[in-house]
Each structure stands twice: as C-alpha cells, then as structure tokens.
Amino acid sequence: MLDRSGLLTEQRLADSMRLDQMSSRQIVDLMNQQDLQAVLAVQRIAEEIAQGVDLIVDRFRKGGRLIYVGAGSSGRLGVLDASECPPTFRSDPNQVIGVIAGGPQAMFQAQEGAEDRFEDGIDVMRRLKVSSCDVVCGIAAGGTTPFVHGALAQAKFSEAATIFITCVERFEQEPIYDLTLRALTGPEVLTGSTRLKAGTATKLILNQLTTASMVRLGKCYENLMVDLKASNQKLKDRAVRVIQMICGTDRETSTILLEQANGHVKPAVVMWKHGCSLTEAHRLLEQSQGSLRQALEKETGE
C-alpha cells in the first residue's frame, strides 16, 4: 500500500485545527477564505492550461475526442463537464467523453476500490479505441489514482495526447505525460477531502479547457452562444435573444428565423444578414469552418 502521507492534499491545514470547535459562520468564513486559494492556484498555471487548449483544438480539428478519466469527485467533475458540452455548444456527444472508475453508477454511489485497478483504466481506453487523434485527460487531485494512470498509460501506448490534472507536487515515480496541469491548492479545511479546494480548482480548469477550445472552434460570436442546442424552453428563449442581439430584430422575427433555420442560431443569423436561403447559409458556414464571424464577412454567391 502506497504511503500518501507526504502528498500536499493529505497535509493538515493549520487554520482549521480547531474545526470541530468552530461555529457555523466561522466554518463558512474559513472555507470561503480557503477557496480563494483554488482560484490563485489555477491562475498560476494559466500558460499550461492554454497549452492544453491548443492541444485539444488541434485534435478536435483532426476529428478526435477529448476523454476525461477520473475516480470519485474527480471523475464526476469530468463527466459533468463532458455532459454540458452538447447543450452549450451543440457538440457531438462523442466529442467530449467523461469516464469514471466504477462505471456510470459511480456518479451517484461510491464504488469503493474501483479507482485502485490500473488494468481497468487500460481496458476502458481499449474499449473506446483511443487513437492518435484523441486527447486523454486524466484527473487525480491526489495524484496517485491507479485507474487514471492505467488509462493514461494506454493512451500513451495508442499515441494519443495526454494531459494530467493534479493538485500535488510531483511524487516519486510519477509518470511523464505530454502536459501536466498542477494546481497546488494546499491542504484542505477537512484534511484529505479533495472535493473541496482541489475539486474547485479542477472544475475551473475543466471549464477553461472546454470553453476556450469550443470558442477557438467558432462556437461563439462575440461572447454569445451561437451553437447552443435549443433543447428546452430556456435554451430556445436564449437562442431567440441571441438572434435579436446580433441581428437587431424583434422577438417575433427572431423566433421565425430560428424556426426557419431548424433551431440553429448561426444559419438563422446568416440568412438575415445576407438575405439568403438556408441552403446558402449552410454553404457559407461550411466554407468558414463553422465561424459565424467569417461567414458574415463573406460575399454571397462567392
């Protein structure tokens, strides 16, 4: 059994040594104070996160996938981030995938021991047929999760790009990956509970990786979601308002445009701006590799 006592996330926080004697307000204040450290830890590795974005964008443009792999809280955060991409960016559900040790049931109930099986990580990468077009992003706040390292080892063998997200300093015999994002958040308020600061930092990193990657792929215009999937009333309302803001049209006209474009914002905007058909709008967007800005700058019939 590995002795993890030297890991940063397993140290005791001096400021919380009297945690069991604190009032509710004192505990909340302390946790708020400590959560600021998560933001600063992520800020310190901004350059490395940007490199991760470039890596992901490169593989996406080759038709590849981003595959998150984690256990426990880390795995749940990866699954959460992956599940948010299709409604936010109208991305293919298979473009960003979340894998958690123990399978889907582990999202709702802890599967004790699942994270300890290195071979299971290898197996899941084989089942997903990971290739050189993909990016596999292993998430392990405490750094040592065998399931995660098994998946990353198989990803390296398959020549996929590898990213490792952790909140501990490099430990003895830590494998080398293409990119390591090391957010050093420090000891937790509740010793070893990495769902706290470490989890917050991880969520921030995942937000940045997928959001920046999708923006780079033309999934937004200015700061607006123009590739969202209008799959419920809230998102339909947002889609209509986005068309209003870009085109300067009233709500009724924007609603009609969205319907004519089969619920897609970008072709609706192109149709209005260029006064063209839906077929022509799709052609302009295809020529622009999905970038609305470039499509609006093109001449129709070009």
Which residues are identified as catalytic? 84, 115
What is the rounded distance in angstroms from the CA atom of residue 146 to the CA atom of residue 70? 10
Q: Which of 40, 32, 38 is nearest to 16 (CA)?
A: 32
Map residue 187 onto helix, strand or coil: coil
- Write the CA distances from 107 to 72, 139, 145, integer angstroms: 8, 15, 17
Map residue 67 onto helix, strand or coil: strand
What is the rounded distance in angstroms from the CA atom of residue 31 to the CA atom of residue 23? 12
Q: Are 226 and 220 in contact (CB under 8 A)?
A: yes
Question: Buried b vs exposed e over 194-209: b needs ≥16 C-beta within 10 Å?
Answer: bbbbbbbbbbbbbebb
Q: Which of 66, 105, 111 is nearest to 206 (CA)?
A: 66
What is the rounded distance in angstroms from the CA atom of residue 256 to the CA atom of residue 259? 5
Q: Are 227 and 266 in contact (CB under 8 A)?
A: yes
What is the rounded distance in angstroms from the CA atom of residue 121 to the CA atom of residue 118? 5
Q: How far does Cα 71 stand from its chain's mean position? A: 16
